[in-house]
């Protein structure tokens, strides 16, 4: 039974692969049309050269066999270059087809207010910005939006590929939802944040299909360089008949075209679009949506990485582990006050305080007519104001001291206890009632496994890591040392991230950061690379230039590697392509003039059989090297952490020296094969 299933699966994979190849070859031929080929100036020249050799052969300016062979080889060269781009695009379209399925035939229950229990059933395409929709368990979310009421577990497998459900809740940094995902439990009210046709899925589809792919600055610059080189060689080749006329040498247009094609950077010209598309696809494979190819490449150039401690370096589920009352305060008094401050605290930390107190036998009734004070990043305090006028607060030590109008110098015990907790990497929360300090709550968090090795890897790449945390300096220092980050910012407010980014940028650094909340949006927008979490708010996702579908803050480390791999791949293949031209020069040039100028024979270092075999061998190599390099262009050159000097040395030795030597060997081998055939 299993065998038959495997056989069917193998047959399906074979059929899919065959269809994939057929689609790629079909698109390769379509790209021969003028409106497509003109987008790649280098290959446009090769295609024009193909037509010139065909016309010249028909007009009898060369032997029929030789002329047709040159024409065929040139045609195959253009076709292979088109095929490289078509394969990269086809991979993207394959990813897009599954995304399209996620948004088909979506309907929505539009409501007028949060209290509207009925609503009107409409097509998802009719939804507008700010519309309210109700989604119940078992239904698909019809549009991108923010949950404004309720919470639910959601299956995002259609978008992220991850089958494990995720929790999304109103009023948190995990309130964002994507159209096409499925609500598994409960009922939520969502406010639409994207117009029809401009949803997250729509943008993903456009990006992966390549229809909305913007060329990166590096790609544009390289394209301009290749165009300038091509124009230069055109001028050189066009001038050769004039030189030949003075030397009484007549040069065939077919030979001139062959020389031009071998001298211009056809290899990198043919592979350049595929490299760009493949970079976007690699990012998507890592479940990261880059809003442009520029973002992928900039990620490869960053040298400062700004990371939140919670959820990035640590697991982020800090739990209360102990209560430490100060002298004169009973444990029960401290627990009572800690629970009161946490009753309305929705955070995991707040809930853990209540849970720990209950474990230790504390029972606290929720007070009536109390005013709850929610935690915010600016004050770093939460608590409540009781009806009898008492104020109970918990928070960071400096914030509580300010609240209680106390001076640290007068509280040596508190200072010692806070330092003791902080020194082991835990977070101390000080509790106060009115002007009286009661004690400290210990919150413990765990550093993620393998994070230290990742930071060491980044350091090898020359990237500085900065941890941002609201913790006090002692806790921050302990965690920074354990995690292996280069620097840290303690007691940080949201605006501190922005200040840090601007400071580093003013020093000439490129900065990347991760964020998910609305308060992260300014910093995400300011950073050179802003990686927003898919689970985060719409503001964060709009501000960032990348979105991580897995909502994994450590994903930025992978993004950096993808960016560097993109840059290295383009640099390596460019070096290889230009090095190839040196070898092809020694094959073609002697073949043009050796008959009229015997002294040119000294340049025939490869000792090729004849002028015709030399030209054909060089052209054949020029054609076949493109498909041979397609796997490298799509997969990318393997990346190893190293300095720029090491990368340059490796690039020149492997792709520079290799790019010169390989054509000599290959062209000679091809010449040995075809010379006997041409002699017939």
The catalytic site residues sit at 308
- Sign, CA torsion 370/376/379/381: positive
The strand pairing partners of 514, in sequence order, are 531
Residue 454 to residue 458: CA distance in whole angstroms: 6
Task: Indicate the burial class of 457 (C-beta count within 10 angstroms; 0-12, 13-18, 19 or more).
Answer: middle
Straight-line distance from the first to the last Cα atom of the chain, in angstroms, rounded to the nearest whole number: 58
Residue 616 to residue 628: CA distance in whole angstroms: 18
**What is the DSSP track for 305-355?**
EEEETBTTTB-S--EEEEEEEPTT--HHHHHHHHHHHHTT--SHHHHHHHH
* DSSP helix/strand/coil, 551: coil
* DSSP helix/strand/coil, 653: helix
The strand pairing partners of 308, in sequence order, are 468
Structure token pair of residue 102: 């996620």
Q: Which residue, 196, 332, 258, is CA-closest to 623?
A: 258
Residue 483 to residue 553: CA distance in whole angstroms: 15
Residue 414 to residue 494: CA distance in whole angstroms: 27
Structure token pair of residue 329: 């305060």
Long-range contacts of 668-673 (CB under 8 A, 24+ apart): 668/606, 668/607, 668/608, 668/617, 670/616, 670/617, 670/620, 670/621, 671/606, 671/608, 671/609, 671/613, 671/614, 671/617, 672/609
Neighbours of 55 (CB within 10 A): 14
């Amino acid at each position: 039974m299993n065998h038959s299933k495997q056989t069917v699966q193998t047959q399906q994979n074979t059929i899919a692969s065959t269809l994939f190849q057929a689609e790629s070859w079909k698109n390769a031929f379509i790209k021969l049309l003028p409106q497509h080929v003109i987008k790649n100036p280098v290959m446009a020249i090769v295609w024009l050269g193909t037509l010139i050799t065909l016309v010249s052969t028909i007009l009898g300016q060369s032997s029929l066999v030789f002329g047709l062979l040159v024409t065929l080889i040139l045609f195959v060269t253009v076709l292979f270059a088109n095929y490289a781009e078509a394969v990269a695009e086809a991979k993207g379209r394959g990813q897009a087809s599954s995304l399209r399925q996620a948004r088909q035939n979506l309907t929505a229950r539009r409501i007028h207010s949060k209290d509207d229990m009925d609503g009107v059933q409409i097509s998802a395409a009719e939804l507008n910005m700010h519309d309210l929709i109700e989604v119940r368990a078992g239904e698909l979310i019809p549009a991108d939006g923010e949950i404004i009421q309720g919470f639910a577990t959601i299956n995002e497998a259609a978008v992220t590929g991850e089958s494990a459900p995720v929790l999304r809740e109103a009023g948190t940094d995990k309130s964002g939802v994507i159209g096409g995902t499925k609500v598994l439990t409960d009922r939520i009210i969502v406010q639409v944040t994207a117009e029809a046709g401009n949803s997250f899925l729509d943008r993903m589809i456009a990006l992966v299909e390549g229809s909305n792919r913007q060329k990166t600055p590096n790609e544009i610059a390289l394209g301009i360089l290749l165009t300038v080189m091509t124009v230069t060689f055109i001028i050189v080749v066009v001038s050769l008949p004039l030189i030949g006329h003075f030397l009484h040498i007549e040069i065939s247009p077919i030979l001139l075209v062959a020389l031009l094609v071998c001298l211009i950077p056809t290899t990198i010209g043919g592979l350049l679009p595929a490299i760009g598309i493949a970079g976007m696809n690699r990012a998507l494979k890592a479940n990261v949506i880059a809003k442009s190819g520029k973002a992928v490449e900039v990620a490869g150039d960053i040298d400062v990485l700004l990371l939140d401690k919670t959820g990035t370096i640590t697991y982020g589920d800090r739990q209360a582990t102990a209560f430490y009352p100060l002298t004169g305060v009973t444990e029960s008094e401290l627990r009572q006050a800690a629970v009161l401050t946490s009753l309305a605290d929705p955070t995991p930390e707040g809930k853990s305080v209540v849970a720990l107190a209950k474990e230790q036998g504390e029972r606290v009734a929720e007070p009536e007519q109390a005013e709850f004070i929610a935690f915010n990043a600016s004050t770093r305090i939460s608590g409540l104001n009781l009806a009898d006028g008492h104020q109970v607060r918990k928070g960071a030590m400096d914030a509580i001291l300010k609240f209680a109008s106390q001076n640290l110098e007068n509280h040596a015990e508190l200072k010692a206890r806070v330092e003791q907790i902080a020194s082991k990497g835990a977070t101390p929360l000080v509790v106060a009632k009115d002007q009286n300090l009661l004690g400290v709550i210990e919150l413990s968090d765990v550093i993620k496994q393998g994070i230290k090795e990742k930071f060491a890897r980044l350091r090898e790449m020359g990237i500085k890591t900065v941890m941002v945390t609201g913790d006090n300096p002692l806790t921050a220092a302990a965690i920074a040392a354990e995690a292996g980050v280069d620097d840290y910012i303690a007691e940080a407010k949201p605006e501190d991230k922005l200040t840090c980014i601007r400071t580093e940028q003013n020093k000439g650094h490129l900065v990347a950061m991760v964020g998910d909340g609305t308060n992260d949006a300014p910093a995400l927008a300011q950073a050179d690379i802003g990686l927003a979490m898919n689970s985060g708010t719409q503001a964060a996702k709009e501000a960032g230039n990348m979105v991580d579908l897995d909502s994994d803050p450590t994903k930025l480390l992978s993004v950096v590697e993808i960016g560097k791999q993109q840059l290295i791949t383009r640099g390596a293949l460019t070096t290889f392509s230009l090095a190839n031209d040196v070898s092809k020069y020694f094959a073609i040039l002697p073949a043009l003039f050796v008959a009229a100028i015997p002294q040119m024979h000294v340049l025939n270092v490869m000792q090729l059989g004849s002028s015709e075999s030399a030209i054909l061998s060089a052209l054949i190599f020029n054609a076949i090297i493109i498909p041979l390099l397609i796997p490298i262009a799509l997969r990318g050159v393997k990346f190893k952490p190293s300095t720029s000097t090491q990368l340059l040395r490796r690039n020149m030795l492997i792709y520079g020296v290799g790019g010169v030597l390989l054509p000599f060997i290959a062209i000679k081998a091809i010449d040995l094969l075809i010379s006997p055939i041409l002699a017939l």
